[in-house]
């Protein structure tokens, strides 16, 4: 059943696993890898609508879409309906199949602007934003929520149906409160209640780390799909296990090859300077799980350039070279990238 297709409006999603939007994680390499391992839909990290409005270079870099990412949701956040609608138009022009809106981010930098989880407590504004965005674009518009701001809140159950009325074509629920951040557990009994209240697909997010957990949550909630976040960090094999039941642990060569490809693609997207800092957390994620000895990870983190990291990985797992070559040969032609306002989006990617 996890390999079954489902729909968000007219967009067909080929499997019931969605790769979560994660700030500081969901770069293009992460999304493409998610697709290769069986995620039916991948998401960008949240992109500031103010950044899009002001044509901030780094923000526009988040709107790069590769040919092998589809279907792809790009997530935007903001609190002003008109600016959100304008941002959604840019996101659609950049090639997103779905515009997702973040009504759940608990981070102060976002909530102090009235965006993210704040909108769970301002239903009128949340609906005005949803209406404006749905009217602005031809692609489906979806919303990702937490359960509410305060612990125990059930705000999402009041808000969800109103968002659907306002034009949301699907809802994702991460049933923790904003105050909880990532503590405690995701209470998917709330997801089940939401599913009963709306006639659009609901995606269940939170603590999905195995096929068994995915099946349990789908059965409990009646959700259309599950979303996988932290479980897929440095671990695309989790997605394969969830989608196909193939729980084979990767060999060292496979781990090194995926990491090398990830490093190279991320350097291409962010430039060496940004990528080398950004990538450090991924070394632990990939090399953990008993795959490589701990000191090896510490060694990688201390290396000065990503080229040195690749060299060191190839020395530790020489068989990875051939695997990387094979993976790189399958990547789509960069000429397939979409032009945004006459400019290739990729020019914004570096630096
Ligand atoms: C590092 C990190 C960054 C995240 N960034 C976003 C984001 O940009 N937008 C969003 O809607 N959710 C974000 N989330 C929440 C995840 O999408 C997901 O709902 C949450 O992690 C629960 O799923 P999990 O238990 O599978 O990780 C983030 C989570 C993490 C751990």
Q: Identify which of 229, 236, 242, 282 to mutate to test ligand 1's pocket (most ligand atoms within 8 A of the CB).
A: 229
| Mean pLDDT, residues 271-289 taken together | 96
pLDDT higher than threshold 60 for residue 180: yes
Ligand 1 atom closest to 46 (CA): 8
Distance 175 CA to ligand 1 centre (A): 12
Name the pLDDT band for 342 (thresholds 50, 70, 90).
low
Lowest mean pLDDT among 135-139, 172-176, 337-341: 337-341
Helix (H, G, I), strand (E, B) or coil at 25: coil
Q: Whose CA is nearest to atom 2 of ligand 1?
A: 22
Interstrand relation of 11-13 and 6-8 (parallel, antiparallel or unpaired) = antiparallel
Ligand 1 lining (C-beta closer than 6 Å): 20-25, 45-46, 75, 102, 104-105, 144, 174, 205-208, 228-231
b/e 197-227 (16+ beta carbons within 10 angstroms → b): ebebbbbbbbbbbebebbbebbeebebbbbb
Q: Which of 17, 18, 19, 21 for mutating ligand 1's site (highest number of atoms within 8 Å of CB)?
A: 21
130 vs 346, more confident: 130
Summarised one tens digit per residue, pLDDT across range 66-96 is 999 999 999 999 999 999 999 999 999 999 9
- Confidence tier at 348 by pLDDT (50, 70, 90): very low
Residue 192 has pLDDT above 50, yes or no: yes
pLDDT at 346: 44
- Residue of the CA atom closest to atom 31 of ligand 1: 230
The arithmetic mean of pLDDT across residues 266-288, rounded, is 96
DSSP states along 259-293: HHHHHHHHHHHH-HHHHHHHHHHHHHHHHTTTTS-
Determine the average pLDDT of the residues in 267-274.
95
Contacts of 201 (CB under 8 A, 6+ apart): 6, 7, 8, 170, 171, 223, 224, 225
159 DSSP 8-state letter? H
Mean pLDDT confidence for 99-119: 96
Q: Work out the average pLDDT over 330-341.
A: 66
Ligand 1 atom closest to the CA of 174, numbered from 1: 19
- Rounded to the nearest whole angstrom, what is the distance from the C-alpha of residue 7 to the centroid of ligand 1? 22
Q: Tell me how far the alpha carbon of residue 31 lies from the centroid of ligand 1, in angstroms.
A: 14
Mind listing the pLDDT tens digit for each residue in 125-170? 999 999 999 999 999 999 999 999 999 999 999 999 999 999 999 9
Residue 135: Cβ within 10 Å count: 13
Ligand 1 atom closest to residue 100's alpha carbon, by position in its atom list: 11
pTM, entire model: 0.95
Which residue from 184, 226, 187, 224 is spatially nearest to 208, judged by alpha carbons? 226
Query: Span 31-35, mean pLDDT?
Result: 97
Alpha-carbon dihedral angle through residues 150, 154, 158, 161, given to the nearest 10 degrees: 110
Ligand 1 centroid vs 186 CA: distance in angstroms? Answer: 12
Contact criterion met (CB below 8 Å) for 196 and 162: no
**β 343-344/6-8 pair status:** unpaired
Distances from the Cα of 51 to the Cα of 118, 133, 230, 343, angstroms: 19, 17, 26, 17
Residue 214: the pLDDT is 98
Residue nearest to atom 14 of ligand 1 (CA): 22
Q: What pLDDT is stored for residue 332 in this prediction?
A: 77
As a whole number, mean pLDDT of residues 222-239 equals 98
- Nearest-CA residue for atom 10 of ligand 1: 21
CA distances from 143 to 48, 117, 228, 325, 333 (A): 15, 11, 16, 38, 32
What is the phi/psi pair of residue 193, to 5°? -60, -40
Nearest CA to ligand 1 atom 18: 229
Average pLDDT of the chain is: 94
* 350 vs 35, residue with greater confidence: 35
User: What separation in Å is there between the alpha carbon of 321 and the centre of ligand 1?
Assistant: 32
As a whole number, mean pLDDT of residues 295-322 equals 96
Report the nearest atom of ligand 1 relative to the CA of 45. 8
Nearest CA to ligand 1 atom 3: 22
What tokens does 307 get? Answer: 């080229």
Reduced to 3 states (helix: H, G, I; strand: E, B; else coil), residue 84 is: helix
Q: Which stretches of 98-251 are DSSP H helices?
A: 108-111, 123-136, 155-166, 188-197, 211-221, 236-244
pLDDT at 339: 55
Can you give the pLDDT at residue 185? 97
Ligand 1 center–CA 177 separation, angstroms: 13
Q: Which of 58-67, 117-126, 162-171, 225-234 has the lowest mean pLDDT?
A: 58-67
What was the pLDDT predicted at 166? 98
Q: Which of 43, 49, 105, 127 is catalytic?
A: 105
49 is annotated as an active-site residue:
no
Nearest residue (by CA) to ligand 1, atom 23, is 206
CA 342–ligand 1 middle distance (angstroms) = 33
């Amino acid at each position: 059943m996890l390999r079954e297709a489902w729909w968000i409006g007219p967009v067909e999603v080929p499997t019931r696993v969605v790769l979560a939007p994660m700030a500081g994680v969901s770069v293009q390499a992460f999304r493409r890898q998610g697709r290769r391992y069986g995620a039916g839909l991948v998401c960008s990290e949240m992109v500031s609508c103010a950044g899009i409005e002001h044509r901030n270079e780094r923000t526009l870099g988040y709107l790069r879409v590769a040919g092998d990412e589809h279907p792809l949701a790009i997530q935007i956040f903001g609190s002003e309906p008109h600016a959100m609608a304008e941002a959604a138009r840019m996101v659609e022009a950049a090639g997103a199949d779905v515009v997702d809106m973040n009504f759940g981010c608990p981070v102060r930098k976002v909530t102090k602007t009235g965006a993210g989880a704040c909108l769970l407590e301002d239903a009128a504004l949340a609906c005005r934003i949803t209406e404006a965005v749905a009217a602005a674009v031809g692609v489906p518009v979806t919303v990702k929520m937490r359960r509410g701001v305060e612990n125990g809140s059930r705000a999402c159950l009041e808000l969800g149906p109103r968002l659907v009325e306002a034009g949301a074509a699907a809802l994702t629920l991460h049933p923790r409160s904003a105050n909880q951040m990532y503590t405690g557990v995701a209470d998917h009994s709330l997801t089940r209640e939401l599913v009963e209240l709306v006639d659009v697909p609901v995606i269940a997010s939170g603590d999905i780390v195995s096929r068994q957990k995915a099946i349990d949550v789908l059965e409990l909630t009646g959700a259309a799909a599950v979303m996988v976040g932290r479980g897929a960090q440095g671990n695309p094999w989790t997605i394969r296990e969830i989608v196909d039941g193939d729980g084979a642990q990767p060999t060292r060569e496979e781990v090194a090859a995926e990491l090398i490809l990830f490093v190279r693609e991320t350097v291409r997207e962010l430039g060496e300077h940004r990528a080398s800092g950004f990538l450090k957390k991924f070394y632990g994620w990939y090399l953990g799980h008993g795959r490589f000895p701990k000191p090896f990870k510490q060694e990688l983190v201390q290396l000065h350039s990503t080229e040195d990291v690749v060299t060191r990985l190839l020395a530790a797992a020489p068989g990875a070279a051939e695997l990387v070559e094979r993976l790189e040969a399958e990547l789509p032609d960069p000429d397939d990238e979409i032009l945004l306002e006459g400019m290739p989006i990729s020019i914004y990617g570096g630096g």
